[in-house]
Chain A
Amino acid sequence: DAGVTQSPTHLIKTRGQQVTLRCSPKSGHDTVSWYQQALGQGPQFIFQYYEEEERQRGNFPDRFSGHQFPNYSSELNVNALLLGDSALYLCASSLGAGGLRDTEAFFGQGTRLTVV
């Protein structure tokens, strides 16, 4: 059973560019959340998708946007990249009703984004 898969694993972009990161949830899961983990820090919640809609958003600017497809996979888009966007971006999937608060979230290995 494939777990959560993310692509690409590493990415280097220039300031001002746009980037798209991809996530396939664990088989059977219908909810995808995205987190940003800066070096030496804990992950910070960006947003969550369920039934192809954004359910809630963390404290991130509109430059961060997302999408969920009918097969539950998801994309994270970041526009006008800043140096401070350099981080590990983690995707987590879970099951049911937008993800009950004590549900186990399964994380992918992440995409390491470097902005130069």
Chain B
Amino acid sequence: GDSVTQMEGPVTLSEEAFLTINCTYTATGYPSLFWYVQYPGEGLQLLLKATKADDKGSNKGFEATYRKETTSFHLEKGSVQVSDSAVYFCALSGMNTGFQKLVFGTGTRLLVSP
């Protein structure tokens, strides 16, 4: 079945450092790919998405490119802020059903210090 693998955390960075959180997936065909963020005590918020190969999703300085050849969707940000501290989830929605069923990775906690 479909699955998502994320790098384990926590990822600890200083403010203004470069961020990469790795995500790879296994799925049939061409799934849609997402990054969700979960701040403490809150639900998940969509950060960005990409629906086909070579698409780049971007939002709030975060970017991720849909790489079909490496089945990856790594999250990057050039300069992190303390307010970016949260748990980040990579997810996919497969094409073998006619509707959205999100399959999530285990999440990566990001801690940014001043």
User: Which A residues lie at the B interface, using CB under 8 A?
Assistant: 4, 31, 33, 35, 40-45, 48, 50, 55-56, 58, 90, 92, 94, 97-110
Q: Which residues of B contact A103 (CB under 8 A)?
A: 100
* List of 5 A-B pairs having minimum Cβ-Cβ separation, nearest first: A42-B104, A107-B43, A98-B99, A102-B32, A99-B100
Most buried by A among B42, B44, B104: B44
Q: Which of these, B32, B95, B97, B102, contacts A43 with CB under 8 Å? A: B102
Q: Which residues of A contact B104 (CB under 8 A)?
A: 42-44
Report if A99-B106 is in contact (Cβ < 8 Å); known contacts: A104-B49, A109-B42. no
CB distance from A55 to the nearest CB of B (A): 6
User: Which B residues lie at the A interface, using CB under 8 A?
Assistant: 4, 31-32, 36, 41-46, 49, 51, 89, 91, 93-95, 97-107
Contacting pair A104 B46 (CB below 8 A): yes
Contacting pair A48 B106 (CB below 8 A): no
Q: When chains A and B are docked, how far (Å) is the Cα of A94 from the Cα of B49?
A: 15
Q: Which of these, B41, B43, B98, contacts A108 with CB under 8 Å? A: B43
Q: When chains A and B are docked, how far (Å) is the Cα of A14 from the Cα of B37?
A: 32
Contacting pair B107 A42 (CB below 8 A): yes
Q: Which residues of A contact B44 (CB under 8 A)?
A: 43, 90, 92, 107
CB-nearest residue of chain B relative to A90?
Answer: B43
Contacting pair A105 B101 (CB below 8 A): no
Report if A45-B102 is in contact (Cβ < 8 Å); known contacts: A90-B43, A90-B44. yes
Q: Which residues of A contact B105 (CB under 8 A)?
A: 42
Report if A97-B99 is in contact (Cβ < 8 Å); known contacts: A42-B104, A102-B93, A104-B49. yes
List 14 A-B residue pairs with CB atoms under 8 Å apart, sorted by A's residue number: A33-B101, A33-B102, A41-B107, A42-B107, A90-B43, A92-B44, A97-B99, A98-B99, A99-B99, A99-B100, A101-B31, A101-B97, A101-B98, A102-B93
Q: Which of these, B43, B49, B99, B101, contacts A58 with CB under 8 Å? A: B101
Q: When chains A and B are docked, how far (Å) is the Cα of A102 from the Cα of B44?
A: 16
